[in-house]
Chains A and B, each alone.
Chain A
Amino acid sequence: MFANFRHTMAWLHTWFGLALGLVLMVVFFFGSLSVFDREIDRWAIPDTRYEPQPMPSFDKMLAPIFKDMQPDAAARAMTAPLADGPLPERFDTPRSWGAYTTHRDPVLLLFAGYEVPHAKDHETAIWANRTVDPRTGEALPVDRLKVGSEFFYPLHYSLTLDWKNIGYWIVGFSALMMLMALVTGVIMHRKFFRELFTFRPHKSTQRSMLDLHNLTGVVALPFHFFFAFTGLVIFAYIYFPVMHTQLTPLHDRHEQLEAKETGLPHDRAGVAAPLASVDAMVAEAQRRWAAKGMAGDVGYLNIQHVGDANSYVSVYRAGTDRVQLAGEGIHFKASTGELLREDPPPTVVARINEFLTGLHLQHFKHWLLRWLYVLGGLSGCACIATGLFFFVEKRKRHHAKQGVSGARIVDALAVTVVTGMLVATLSMLIANRLLPDVMPAGWPLRGAMEKTIFWGSWLVAGAHAYLRTAAVAAGRLAPAWREQCLAVAALAVAAPLMNWITTGDHLLRTIGSGYWPVAGADLFMLAGAALAVLAARKLQQRAERPLAVKNVALEAKHA
């Protein structure tokens, strides 16, 4: 693009970094929160604040629940256009039943996939799911949004924009740009090792912001690179659906061959058959794992072609002690309990892929590593935010002289995605505590209300950001920053307070009884409040400082 290679790399880093950095703030922040998504669920759904349980008896507890489950109205609405005819009242042919536990989640997630009669694509399925208390089999009340695993987590990987998967594409594109920003950043940053420990907050804002940007980017460089890369690998089948378009014949051929090789039938036989004791199969699976020296809990249970002679039960071991996800699958003939197949050890390529996806999806049990992941994620946020600050700081006086509002707009956007995002998150959690358990008739569901408050408060923060950054157009520090920091501090104290008032679970009680999911969330918010107050104070001091007479715009490429 430019004659100078480094110059081109710097241009890419600056402009694509700016544009996608706004999206990446959201991805990184909610990704960091998602490390503890199940714990946030506990905070948001006080009824589920009990200890994680092992997978309960399938025969006694889960089978009746599965038989009872049916897709809800939303699933029916989504599936209706995919069929050439009306959907049946009751779906009676389950393709599969699945149950999924983790060592972190006390509740058990059950899902059932049904065939859709007259479907345009024969592979279409309609899904029903239910969350139950594994101690009693009782279902969770319907309108309880799992704020962590069903909102913050999807926000992280798809911005919850599901229309034609557009959110996935935006996040995917920003992940690719993250990789680009890391590579171009390293190319631009001449003093990579020399400035590894350098942070000079007492120098000009530009210098200190650039130092912090380099520091947070470099120290967690492997983390940033691997998370962006593995995120792309995980959703590669969405971005490059080769196997379901151009290479469909090859894919289908493989499925048929694999079914023959493994003895796990691809299709139903069309002959009804009973289901033998699944508990006995689970016990056998656990015996076999122990015999191999890998005793473990059940992570995932699946029954394919339910009720058919070809039905088989698959039991997978939870991946709590290593990076790879659930594995060591053992498969049984559903009608007799006879062993059909023990999955062989994975190939080298499979191991690599499982390592990559596993390190991102984090099924392991390791509290230190999880907190280190949060540190990495927040470093990523700091890297992006300081990048935005540097961009504005470098240009605002120049733009002010020229009467151009570019820096002001970027600063307004920065306020919106940094402090504004925190305002939205905390407002949602407070709403979660304040909304009634059952919404009055005519009102949207509680979960929908929480989401509306999230987006609404973010919009308000954005409006405030725009209105209160006019100072930037004059080359000064925007008061929006300090004001939103104070708002964040207030909200971050209010949320734990609301938790105390509405559930009685104050910090002395949760720490005293060692209930860390809720204690951790409250402590994290209070720590955030303290940092927000500190930031507000520093901003006040900075605002009161006289303007520098001479302002030298640092060339990032000479940094």
Chain B
Amino acid sequence: MTSTTLTHRHIASRTAVALLGGYVFTWGLIALGVALLYSAGMEFHDAEHLSYIVGLLAFLLAFLVAFAARGLRRVALVLVGGGALMAAAASWVQGLIIAAGA
């Protein structure tokens, strides 16, 4: 199982994308999940638990994809960018709910 192209740097960058990128993506997914489900009428803690369940499975998938995919840059973009976008969207939805209801 040796490969001449497998440097420490490559392993480190894959791992960083898998873990940090995966974490950001999962955070965004959970936040958006809670905000959207709650705004759709689901009970708050139900929204929380369902988002955690889906989010953790998504983290697992993101981790594997980060190693399996060919283009590391693209994976990093999707995970970090997507996560940040979802988190931003979650804050926006939260703002709408608070403004409408408070």
Chain A positions near chain B (C-beta within 8 angstroms) = 1-2, 5, 7-12, 14, 176, 179-180, 183-184, 229, 232-233, 236-237, 240, 242-243, 246-247, 249-251, 253-254, 258, 347, 349-350, 352-353, 356, 555, 557
Determine which of A236, A249, A251, A350 lies in contact with B52 in the assembled complex, contact meaning CB atoms within 8 Å.
A236
A229 to B38, CA, bound (A): 24
List residues of B (45-67) whose CB comes within 8 Å of A's CBs: 45-46, 48-50, 52-53, 55-57, 59-60, 63-64, 67
Contact yes or no, B46 A350, CB < 8 A: yes
Q: Contacts A11-B1, A250-B34, A250-B44; is A184 near B64 (CB within 8 Å)? A: yes
Across the interface, which residues of B come within 8 angstroms of A184, CB to CB? 64
Q: Contacts A184-B64, A242-B30; is A249 near B49 (CB within 8 Å)? A: no
Give the A-B pair count, Cβ closer than 8 A: 100
B98 in contact (CB, < 8 A): yes
Q: Contacts A2-B3, A8-B67, A9-B68; is A250 near B49 (CB within 8 Å)? A: no
In the complex, 13 of the A-B residue pairs with CB atoms within 8 angstroms, ordered by the A residue number, are A1-B14, A240-B26, A240-B27, A240-B30, A240-B55, A243-B48, A247-B94, A249-B94, A347-B43, A349-B43, A350-B49, A352-B53, A557-B1
Contact yes or no, A180 B63, CB < 8 A: yes
The 4 closest A-B pairs by CB, nearest first: A236-B52, A349-B46, A254-B44, A353-B49
B31 in contact (CB, < 8 A): yes
Nearest residue in B to A252 (C-beta to C-beta)? B98
Across the interface, which residues of A come within 8 angstroms of B55, CB to CB? 236, 240
Contact yes or no, A349 B49, CB < 8 A: yes
- Which applies to chain B's interface (DSSP): helix, strand, loop or mixed? helix
Contact yes or no, A253 B102, CB < 8 A: yes
Measured CB to CB, the closest approach of chain B to A373, in angstroms, equals: 22
Sample of 18 further A-B pairs with CB below 8 A, known A1-B67, A7-B1: A8-B68, A9-B68, A10-B1, A176-B56, A183-B60, A183-B64, A229-B57, A233-B52, A233-B53, A236-B52, A236-B56, A246-B94, A247-B31, A247-B94, A250-B35, A349-B50, A353-B49, A353-B50
A349 to B42, CA, bound (A): 9
Contact yes or no, A12 B67, CB < 8 A: yes
Determine which of B34, B42, B45 lies in contact with A242 in the assembled complex, contact meaning CB atoms within 8 Å.
B34
Contact yes or no, A353 B63, CB < 8 A: no
Q: Contacts A176-B59, A229-B56, A250-B97; is A242 near B67 (CB within 8 Å)? A: no
Q: Contacts A1-B14, A240-B52, A349-B50; is A247 near B34 (CB within 8 Å)? A: yes
Chain B positions near chain A (C-beta within 8 angstroms) = 1, 3, 6, 10, 14, 26-27, 30-31, 34-35, 38, 42-46, 48-50, 52-53, 55-57, 59-60, 63-64, 67-68, 87, 90-91, 94, 97-98, 101-102
Determine which of B46, B49, B56, B87 lies in contact with A246 in the assembled complex, contact meaning CB atoms within 8 Å.
B87
A365 to B27, CA, bound (A): 37
Measured CB to CB, the closest approach of chain B to A374, in angstroms, equals: 26
Across the interface, which residues of A come within 8 angstroms of B42, CB to CB? 349
Nearest residue in B to A182 (C-beta to C-beta)? B60
Determine which of A247, A350, A555 lies in contact with B35 in the assembled complex, contact meaning CB atoms within 8 Å.
A247
A7 to B1, CA, bound (A): 8
A243 to B38, CA, bound (A): 12
Across the interface, which residues of A come within 8 angstroms of B90, CB to CB? 246-247
A249 to B44, CA, bound (A): 12
Contact yes or no, A350 B45, CB < 8 A: yes
Measured CB to CB, the closest approach of chain A to B16, in angstroms, equals: 13
Contact yes or no, B34 A233, CB < 8 A: no
Across the interface, which residues of A come within 8 angstroms of B91, CB to CB? 246
Measured CB to CB, the closest approach of chain B to A137, in angstroms, equals: 36
Contact yes or no, B1 A242, CB < 8 A: no
Contact yes or no, A242 B31, CB < 8 A: yes
Contact yes or no, B38 A250, CB < 8 A: yes
Contact yes or no, B53 A353, CB < 8 A: yes
A347 to B44, CA, bound (A): 12
A347 to B42, CA, bound (A): 10
Across the interface, which residues of A come within 8 angstroms of B10, CB to CB? 1
Measured CB to CB, the closest approach of chain B to A230, in angstroms, equals: 10
Q: Contacts A180-B60, A229-B56; is A253 near B34 (CB within 8 Å)? A: no
Measured CB to CB, the closest approach of chain B to A431, in angstroms, equals: 39
Nearest residue in A to B69 (C-beta to C-beta)? A1
Q: Contacts A2-B3, A183-B60, A240-B52; is A347 near B46 (CB within 8 Å)? A: yes
A12 to B27, CA, bound (A): 23
Measured CB to CB, the closest approach of chain A to B5, in angstroms, equals: 8
Across the interface, which residues of A come within 8 angstroms of B87, CB to CB? 246
Nearest residue in A to B93 (C-beta to C-beta)? A250
Measured CB to CB, the closest approach of chain B to A292, in angstroms, equals: 22
Across the interface, which residues of B come within 8 angstroms of A11, CB to CB? 1, 67
Across the interface, which residues of B come within 8 angstroms of A246, CB to CB? 31, 87, 90-91, 94
Across the interface, which residues of A come within 8 angstroms of B44, CB to CB? 250-251, 254, 258
A85 to B20, CA, bound (A): 39
Nearest residue in A to B55 (C-beta to C-beta)? A240
Across the interface, which residues of B come within 8 angstroms of A253, CB to CB? 97-98, 101-102
Across the interface, which residues of B come within 8 angstroms of A240, CB to CB? 26-27, 30, 52, 55
A267 to B67, CA, bound (A): 49
